[in-house]
Structure 1
Amino acid sequence: MSEFFQSNTQIIEKRWPAVAARLLSEDPSSLQADLVEGLGSTLSVNGIQLTSRHDRMREAQVQAASLAADSPVLHVYGAGLGDLQHELLLRPALAQLHVHILNGAVFSLVLQLLDQTPWLGDSRVQLHYAGDREEICLPFFALPSELVLADDYNAKIRDRLISETHLTFNNREFDPHAAHIVERLHASQTLMHVDADVAELFGTCAGMPVFVIATGPSLEMHFQRLRTIREQQPRPLFICVDTAYRPLLEQGIRPDIVVTIDQRIAERHLPPAGTSAIRLVYMPMVDPSVLSAWQGPRYVAYSPSPIYQALRQQFPRGELHGGGSVIHPAVDLAVKMGAGEITLFGADFAFPGDKTHAGWSDGELGPQLGAAKHWVLDGHGQRIKTQLNFRSYLCELERFIAGHPQVRFYNSSRAGAIIAGTAFHPELAL
C-alpha cells in the first residue's frame, strides 16, 4: 500500500465508508498504466490519457468554464487526476461538489499514485459511484477520458452522459426552418386533410397485452413463435416499426399496426400490396408517395419536435413520444392505447450475432457492423457491439419506461442490450 493510497483512503473511509469498501476491492493491476510526457505529464490508462500531457491545470480551467460560475451545486463524472475538482472548489459560490466515479479501478490507481487529499477532505465534496444512481445529475461535466474508460457497473450512466452531451449536435438536423423540412411538411398537408387522428386509437385496447416489434437481429429467433401466436384468439396486438414490416411479411406475420416517422422510409420498406387491413400510424415527415400508396387506414401523429409546432396549430393531432428512433412512438402508442403489458421484440440496440438488423443485409438500413466501435451490456452481462445513436435510443426508452410504472414491460431476448425497467418474459425470452 502506497503512502498516497493510505492517506487518500483514510479520508474516504471516514467520510464514505461504503465507497471505501468497494474501492478496496477494485483491481488496478488489470490496467495498463503509463506516464506520458509532453510540456507536462499525465497518466495514460489502457492507452487513454486521463488529462492533457501539456497543461493539466489550463485544461481544467477550460472544463470548469463550461459550468455556470454561480451554480451552488455541480456534478463531475470521472475523478481524473483531481484537477477539475481543485479548480471548481476555488469558487466561493459552490456549496456542493458531487464527484461520480466512472471506473473504480482507475480511481483506485490514481489514489495510489497521487495525493488527492485536498479535494477529498473538502467538506463540500460528496463521492459516489456513478452507477448507484439511475439517472444523471445536472449541471455536470463528464471527463472525456473516463467516458471511454467507464466500467461495466457505470456503463448506463456513461451512456446517458454521452447522450446528453450530444443532444444539441444530434438535433441540428431538425431545424423547423430548413428548406427540405418545410417542403416535406407542406407536401404532407394534402393527406393530413383526409387521414384520421392517432388520438382516435388512444384507449381502444385497455388492459390488453401488446407486442411491439423492432428490427434488431434477435427478432429472427422469434419468427416461428410470432407466427403461431398471430393465429391464436385472443392474442396480443401486434405493433411493428416500419423497417420490421417487410421481414415480418416475408415470414407470414401480418402486424395490426405499423408505425413510421422517417423521411428516408420508401416503398421497399413499406410495400403497399395487401395492406388494406393494416393500420399505418405516421408522422408528416414521411414521404407522401409512400403514405398515399398504403391501402389501409392511416393515422397522423406528431412528436414533440419543434418541426411540428406550426403544423400542429393548423392540424391538431395526437402526440407520440419522440426519442430519436421509431421504437419510441411505437411503444408510446401501445401505452396510450391502454396496454396493460408490453413485450418488446427485436429491441436490441446492439448487433448480436454480428448482425445489424433482422431481414436486412449489413448496411442496408444505414449502420454497418464494421463501424461499431462502442458497446453495451447484453442480457447475459456481456459486452456487445453497438453504435452511439443506438445507446442514446436505449437511454430514451429506459427513461420512458421509468415514467410509466403502471405498464409491465417485458423483453423477449437476452441477446440484445439489457433494458432497464423491463423483465425478461417468463415464456418468450430467449
Structure 2
Amino acid sequence: MSELFERNGELIQQRWPKVWHRLSVEDSAALQADLVEGLGSTLSVNGIQLTSRHDRTREAALQADSLPVDSQVVHVYGTGLGDLQAQLLARAGVERLYVHILNGAVFALVLQMLDQQSWLSDPRVELLYAGDRVEIQLPYFALPSELVLADDYNAKIRDRLISETHLTFNNREFDPANPEIAERLQACVERVRADADVAELFATCSGTEVFVIGTGPSLEQHFDTLRAVRERTQRPLLICVDTAYRPLIEQGITPDVVVTIDQRISTRHLPSDASGEITLVYMPMVDPAVLEGWQGPRYVAYSASPIYRELREALPKAQLYVGGSVIHPAVDLAVKMGASQITLFGADFAFPNDKTHAGWNDGDLGPQLGAARHWVLDGHGQRVKTQLNFRSYLCELERYIAGHPQVGFHNSSRAGAMIVGTTFHPEFTR
C-alpha cells in the first residue's frame, strides 16, 4: 500500500467509512494504467485518458463553466484526478459538492498515485458511489472518460447520464419545422379526424393482466407459451409493438392490440391481411398506407412531442407516453386501460445470444449486431451487447415503472437487460 493511498484513505475513512470500506477492497491491480505525456501529463486507464494530457486545469475550467455559476449544490460524476472538484470548490457560492464514484477501482488507483486530500477534506464535499442512488441528480457534469470506464455497479446511473446528455441531440429529428414531418402529418390528418380517440380504450380492462410484447430476441423462447395462452378462454390481453406483429402472426399468435408510432414502419412490418379483428393504436407519423390497409379498428393517440402541437389543438385526442421507443406507449396503453399486472415479453433492450430482434434478420430493423459497442447487465448479472439508444429506452421505461407503483411489472426473460422495477415472472421466465 502506497503512502499516498494511506493518507488519502485515512481522510476518506474518517469522513465516509462505508465508502472507504468498499474502496479498500477494489481491485485496482487489474487495471492497465499508464502515464501519458503531452504538453502536460495524465493517467490512462485501459487505454482511456482520465483527463487532457496537455492542460488538465484548463480542461477542468471549461467543464466547470458548463454548470450554472449560481448553483449552490453541484454533482460531479466520476472522480478524475480531482481537477474539476478543485475548480468547483473555488466558487464561493457552492455550498455542497457531491462527487459520485463511477468506477471504484479507478478511484482507488488514483488515490495510490495522487494526493487528493485538498478536495476530500473540504467540508462541502460528499463522496458516494453513483450506484447508491437510483436516479441522477441535477445540475451535474459527468466526466467523459469515466462514462466509458464505469463499472457494473454504477452502470445504471451511467446509462441515465448518457441518456440525459444526448437528449437534445436525439430530439433533433423531431423538429416540427422539418418539412418531412409536416408532409407526413398532413397526409394523415383526415385519418386522424375520422378515427377514434385512444381515450375510448382507457379503463376498459380494469384489474386485468396484460402481456406487452416487444421484439427482443428472447421473444422467440415464448412463441409456444404465447400461442397456448392465446387459446385460453380467460386470458391476458395481448398488446404488441409494431415490429413484433409479423413474427407473432407468422407463429400463429394473434395479438389483440398493435401499437405503432414510427414513420419508418410500413406495410412490410404491418401487413393488413389478417388484421380484421386486431385493434391498431397509432400516432400520426405512421405511414398512411398502413392506415389505409388496416382492416380492424383504429385509434389515434398523440405524444407530448412538439411535432403534434398543432394537431393536438385542432383535433384533440388523448396522449400516450413516449420515451423514444414504441415499447413505452404500449406499456402506457396497458396501464391506462386498467392493467393491474403487466408482463413484458421480448423487452430485452439488448442483443442476447448475438441476435438483434426476434423474427427479423440482422440489420432489418436497424444497426447490425457488429455495430454494437455498448453493454448492459442482463438478468444473470452478466454483460450483454446493446446499442446506445437501447440503453436510453431502458432508462425511460424504468422511470415510467417507478412512477406507477400501483401496477405489478414482470419480466419474462433473464436473457435481456435487467429492468429495474420488474420481478421475474415465476411461470414464464427463462
Structure 1 position 258, deviation (Å):
0.1
- Which residue is equivalent to 1:140? 140
- Which residue is equivalent to 1:166? 166
Distance in 1, matches of 2:108 and 2:315, equals 58
Q: Is 1:402 equivalent to 2:402 in the alignment? A: yes
Q: Is 1:38 equivalent to 2:38 in the alignment? A: yes
Q: 4+ runs of 1 displaced by more than 6 Å?
A: none
- Which residue is equivalent to 1:206? 206
Partner secondary structure for residue 145 of structure 2: helix
- Which residue is equivalent to 1:308? 308
Structure 1 position 186, deviation (Å):
1.1
- The residue identity in structure 2 corresponding to 1:148 is V
Distance in 1, matches of 2:118 and 2:193, equals 66
- Which residue is equivalent to 2:269? 269
Structure 1 position 139, deviation (Å):
0.3
**Percentage identity across aligned positions?**
73
Q: How does 1:322-333 map to 2 (within 5 A)?
A: 322-333=322-333
Structure 1 position 174, deviation (Å):
0.5
- Which residue is equivalent to 1:229? 229
Structure 1 position 192, deviation (Å):
1.2
- What TM-score do you get using the length of structure 2 for normalisation? 1.00
Distance in 2, matches of 1:41 and 1:425, equals 52
- The residue identity in structure 2 corresponding to 1:84 is L
Structure 1 position 54, deviation (Å):
0.5
Partner secondary structure for residue 127 of structure 1: strand
- The residue identity in structure 2 corresponding to 1:355 is K
Distance in 2, matches of 1:370 and 1:345, equals 24
Distance in 2, matches of 1:24 and 1:138, equals 29
Q: Is 1:344 equivalent to 2:344 in the alignment? A: yes
Distance in 1, matches of 2:387 and 2:289, equals 31
Distance in 1, matches of 2:306 and 2:403, equals 22
- The residue identity in structure 2 corresponding to 1:403 is G
- The residue identity in structure 1 corresponding to 2:182 is V
Partner secondary structure for residue 64 of structure 1: helix
Partner secondary structure for residue 268 of structure 2: coil
Deviates more, 1:286-295 or 1:160-169: 286-295
Structure 1 position 194, deviation (Å):
1.3
Distance in 2, matches of 1:274 and 1:19, equals 59
Structure 1 position 64, deviation (Å):
0.5
- Which residue is equivalent to 2:29? 29
- Which residue is equivalent to 1:370? 370
Distance in 2, matches of 1:57 and 1:16, equals 27
- Which residue is equivalent to 2:63? 63
- The residue identity in structure 2 corresponding to 1:180 is E
Q: How many residues align?
A: 430
Structure 1 position 193, deviation (Å):
1.7
- Which residue is equivalent to 1:360? 360
Distance in 1, matches of 2:35 and 2:419, equals 38
Q: Deviations over 1:374-406 (max 9, x none)?
A: 000000000000000000000000000000000
- What TM-score do you get using the length of structure 1 for normalisation? 1.00
- The residue identity in structure 1 corresponding to 2:23 is L
Structure 1 position 233, deviation (Å):
1.5
User: C-alpha root-mean-square deviation of aligned residues, in Å?
Assistant: 0.5
Structure 1 position 350, deviation (Å):
0.3
Distance in 1, matches of 2:261 and 2:290, equals 12
Structure 1 position 183, deviation (Å):
1.0
Unpaired stretches in structure 1, ≥5 consecutive residues: none
Structure 1 position 70, deviation (Å):
0.9
Distance in 2, matches of 1:292 and 1:75, equals 51
Structure 1 position 9, deviation (Å):
0.9
- Which residue is equivalent to 1:108? 108
Distance in 2, matches of 1:112 and 1:189, equals 64
Q: Deviations over 1:138-190 (max 9, x none)?
A: 00000000000000000000000000000000000011111111111111111
